[in-house]
A and B are shown apart, each in its own frame.
Chain A
Amino acid sequence: MKVRILQLGRKVVDYEAEAGAALEAALAAVGVTVGQGMDVRVNSQPATLATTLNEGDVVTVIPRIKGGAERGPILRRPPSPAVLNTAENYGR
């Protein structure tokens, strides 16, 4: 049976799984590891590694992302004055 495995941030694989295969086996077969901070869904429903797959299922592995203005590896300078609503800071 065909299932689609979508690992967000990595890859999408259409996989020919054995009938009644468990999610864990299908993920292992296509080299997807469910690590820390990952949610797994089958057809948009929460799933576990023991979930049994069916023909046409779509497995989605979603990372819980947290970033934005990411922290750098170097120490930050102390902040300068708190309020910058001055003509000088607008540059021109």
Chain B
Amino acid sequence: MIEPDYWRQLDLISAEQLDFPIALIGAGGIGSPLALALAKMGCKRLALYDPDTVEAHNLPNQMYRLSDIGRPKVAALAELLTDFAPLQLDVRQERVEAQTLRGVVLSGVDSMASRSGIWQGCVRYRAGIPLYVDARMGAEVCRVLTVNPVDPDEVRAYEATLHTDDDAAEDACTAQAIIYNTFAVAALVANQVKRYARGEPLERDVIFDLATLTLLKGDQM
């Protein structure tokens, strides 16, 4: 079997360092480019969760092809991923609510209600999850929050960001997503995965804004 040659990134991360389970919740604007980044980096074991099917309005800002319209997102994404890299995939067309998740959990869902449900139902104080990354985006802004879900201080800090959907800023329906922002947020999350894999310091809260080309982290906000 032909294997990718990772030598150009060996001093950054090796595929062997990425051989741990990753659960990716959401295969949309955040999840689909993130999955491709993880596969290209050399991640070996990936579980994909998303209940939705590909629709025409997904094509401009998600990784799907014209021929994917009407297909389950997770099935279309799995096909793309297996074209790119050898992976062990666990593909589930389901909403994450109370499943038992294992390994690093990455979330790119579409509402604060979903985030709160995932956090309470599957992540908070779960010993089998060493790292949880919650990615959010709107228009040209993205935010990435990284939590050790069994650390009380980090739990407290993360929960302070779990506002309701009613308390969120409202983007116009026609100003919610653009492809280059999905690449930016995927890059920030994949970088956190690399940091975790190498035992490097993690950034607990990062905001990147392409409109003003500003990056804020932690206490800079």
Contact = CB atoms under 8 A, between A and B. Distances in A.
Contact of A62 (B29, B74, B79, B207): B207
A74 B91 contact: no
For the complex, would chain B's binding face be called helix, strand, loop or mixed by DSSP majority? mixed
Contact of A65 (B51, B109, B141): B141
B75 interface: yes
Contacts of A64: 163, 167-169
B55 A66 contact: no
Contacts of A37: 163, 167-170
Contacts of A84: 72, 74-75, 78, 91-93
Interface string B130-154: 0000011111111100000000000
Contacts of B128: none
Contacts of A92: 79, 82-83
A82 B90 CA distance: 12
Interface in B180-221: 207, 209, 211-212, 214, 216, 219-221
B94 interface: yes
A6 B214 contact: yes
Interface string A45-77: 000000000000000101111111111111011
A26 to B, nearest CB: 17
Contacts, number: 162
A81 interface: yes
A81 B109 CA distance: 21
Given A8-B141, A62-B221, A68 B110 contact: yes
A87 to B, nearest CB: 11
Contacts of B141: 8-9, 63, 65
A80 B72 contact: yes
Nearest to A7: B212
A48 B80 CA distance: 48
A63 B207 CA distance: 10
A9 B177 CA distance: 12
Chain B interface size range = 35 or more
B42 interface: no
B167 A67 contact: no
Interface of B: 26-31, 50-53, 55, 57-58, 62, 70, 72-75, 78-79, 82-83, 89-94, 107-112, 115, 135-143, 163, 165, 167-171, 173, 176-177, 207, 209, 211-212, 214, 216, 219-221
25 contacts: A8-B209, A9-B209, A36-B167, A37-B167, A37-B170, A62-B207, A63-B138, A65-B169, A66-B111, A66-B136, A66-B165, A66-B168, A68-B26, A68-B107, A68-B110, A69-B62, A69-B110, A72-B57, A72-B58, A73-B57, A74-B55, A74-B57, A82-B92, A89-B75, A90-B89
Given A69-B110, A80-B53, 13 more contacts: A9-B138, A36-B169, A37-B168, A64-B167, A64-B169, A65-B142, A68-B111, A69-B73, A70-B177, A72-B55, A74-B57, A77-B70, A84-B74
